[in-house]
Structure 1
Amino acid sequence: MWTPEDTYAIGRIDLPDASTHGWQVRLQRRGRKYAKYFGDRQCGGPKQSYREALAWRDELLEELDIRQQPVARVCQRSRRNSSGVVGVSKIAVSAANGETYLFWQATWSPAVGQRCCVKFSVKRHGDRAAFRLAVEARQRGIGKE
């Protein structure tokens, strides 16, 4: 059985029509992308290509110092943030019946690699109350309350 640590940033590529079989490592840190492909044929089979991909990924993570010191990004308001609160946004969801529903959504990361999200209906709570509920949920989620 695979664990998330076994497959983190590693994906299997099987494209029989292109005769492409192997493992690919893909990471992005602070806007910079890292990627490398490990072909089964070049590495001596799928098990060996996986081992080489895993070793390369682990070396890269150590080099980037990800495992020892996970650093949380400091979120700041950007031009694209119209709510004025980091992690709170107004979204529109289109239902199968063609109706569009508005929500205020709060998102946060309780731990490295995890993401939480909660939505509050504008129709049910009203615009101001839904926004306030989203802000409060975000604050509770990031532990500021």
Structure 2
Amino acid sequence: MYGISRIDDETHRTHAWRVSLRRRGKMLVKNFPDRKFKGKGKALQAAKAHRDALLQRYPPLSRVEFAKVKRRNNKSGVTGVCLVCCKYYLADGTEKRLWYWEASWPTSPGQHINQRFSCAIHGKQRAFEMACQARRRGLRQVRGVFWAAERGELSH
């Protein structure tokens, strides 16, 4: 069940359902002990009600919002746009390098599109601008809600 797990620890005599969701960097956790709720089934009902209330109050990120989150390792200043170097060797052994600005964006879950723009053809600044523009266009096509893992059943 999405956001709900079972705790059965005989050593500490702990038997409960745990609701645990992460929303925008904050963990939302609450336990529903069997003893307090007078049984395993009633504790589960309370946990589901609490989880559903949390989902209403704190909806998950949209896939576009998630795709726009800036990571710590971002060096370009634009999420989803990075400078890429491709090395290759000529027949005589000479090493050549081609530089590209690459834009990427999600399509369906687990899939994404990359589009490269050559610095040699367009110039470094123009290639960067083209990559940013391609990413903006790509993100306009992204739909749905982001789930870190495959969403479980929301059975009631």
* Distance change >3 Å, CA 52–CA 79, structure 1 → 2: closer
The residue identity in structure 2 corresponding to 1:41 is R
Q: How much does 1:87 deviate?
A: 9.3
Residue of structure 2 equivalent to 1:101: none
- What is the aligned length? 97
Could you tell me which runs of 5 or more consecutive residues in structure 1 were left unpaired when the two chains were aligned: 1-6, 89-105, 119-133
Structure 2 unmatched runs, 5+ = 83-103, 116-134, 143-156
Select the structure that is richer in helix: 1
Q: Secondary structure at the match of 1:24?
A: strand
Contact 1:24 1:35 in 2 (8 A): yes
Structure scoring higher RCO (CA < 8 A, sep ≥ 6) equals 2
Tell whether 2:78 aligns with 1:78. no
Q: Is the 8 A contact 2:71 2:79 kept in 1?
A: no
| Distance in structure 2 (CA, Å) of the matches to 1:79 and 1:135 | 20
Q: 1:26 to 1:79 in 2, by over 3 A?
A: closer
TM-score (norm 2): 0.48
Superposed CA RMSD: 3.5
- Identity percentage of aligned residues: 29
Question: What SS class does the counterpart of residue 41 from structure 1 fall into?
Answer: coil
Deviation at 1:80, TM superposition (A): 1.2
**Partners of 1:117 and 1:37 in 2: how far apart?**
35
Does residue 23 (structure 1) correspond to residue 17 (structure 2)? The answer is yes
Helix, strand or coil at the partner of 2:36 = helix
| 1:32–1:50 Cα change, 3 Å | same
CA distance in 2, matches of 1:17, 1:87: 51
1:1-145 to structure 2, matched below 5 A, reads 7-64=1-58, 66=59, 71-72=62-63, 73=65, 74-81=67-74, 86=80, 108=106, 110=108, 115-116=109-110, 135=114
Q: Closer, same or farther in 2 for the Cα pair 1:22/1:107, shift >3 Å?
A: farther
CA contact (8 A) 2:20 2:29 kept: yes
Tell me which amino acid in the other structure corresponds to 1:71. Answer: S
* 1:48 to partner: Cα distance: 0.6
Deviation, structure 1 residue 37: 0.1
Distance 1:79 1:58, change over 3 A: closer
TM-score of the superposed pair, with normalisation by structure 1:
0.51
Q: What SS does the aligned partner of 1:116 have?
A: coil
| Cα distance in 1 between the residues matched to 2:14 and 2:105 | 38
